[in-house]
Amino acid sequence: MRILAVSGPHPLLAEFHADVLTPSFPPSELGPLDELDGAHVRLALDDDGRVLGGAVGDWDPELRVMLLGYLALRPGIRGGGIGGALLDDTLAAWRTEHDPCLVLAEVEDPAAHAGAVAEHGDPAARLRFYRKRGARALDIPYFQPALSPETGRVPGLFLMVLHAAAEFRAGEDAVPSAPVRSFMEGYFLETEGTVPTDPEARALWDALAGPTVALL
């Protein structure tokens, strides 16, 4: 396996989107192919150049926050260590390129997504995968903003911290709320066109209103 860093249009992105991302995520959690052109993508390839999997990051240089939007493998090869190697390589690369930084990831809460096991993978196994590598969830009522008006929001997610440089830590069990809130405001503006004030969103803003937010 070799890992290829892609930033901008690339012919392998269509294969990655069709053969890896589409089988791995429901439509409500997956953006269109052209969104990959502006993302930080790292593709795992076999010796023949076939895409085995990939990681997709959205970088905010002003806030120094990276969202790992997707980490997925081609169906049939999960559990063989490729995902762990890909994540380790991706985090190491992002720390080198962008440190100091905060790396976040959206991960399904198994209690809310138990029905997704057969079609899009096992949420409980996915959560164990991230926790095994030290990821911790923020203590907030998180949901994914609506990627399009047709799909709507995705409830029942954890927003997890995969990496936090020293300036993004408030002790061992918390991070500053301000960069997380600013990141979420930008996320909503990009996806929904506004910073929402509905009850679901207010609960999220209330959880981020203090100086810090706890890590679970």
CATH number where 110 lies: 3.40.630.30
Instruction: Give exposure, 118-131, as e/b (b: 16+ Cβ within 10 Å).
Output: eebbbbeebbebbe
* Cβ(185)–Cβ(195) below 8 Å: yes
Beta partners for 68? 57, 105
Q: How many separate domains does the chain show? A: 1
Q: Express each pLDDT in 93-124 by its tens digit.
A: 999 999 889 999 999 898 877 665 556 667 88
Calculate the average pLDDT of the chain: 91
Q: Express each pLDDT in 3-17 by its tens digit.
A: 999 887 889 999 999
pLDDT band at 151 (very low <50, low <70, confident <90, very high): confident
pTM of the model: 0.90
- CA–CA distance from 85 to each of 4, 53, 109, 189 (Å)? 13, 11, 23, 33
State how beta strands 212-214 and 174-176 pair: antiparallel
Residue 165 lies in domain:
2-214
More confident: 123 or 85: 85
Vertex 51 angle, CA 48 and 56, to 5°: 150
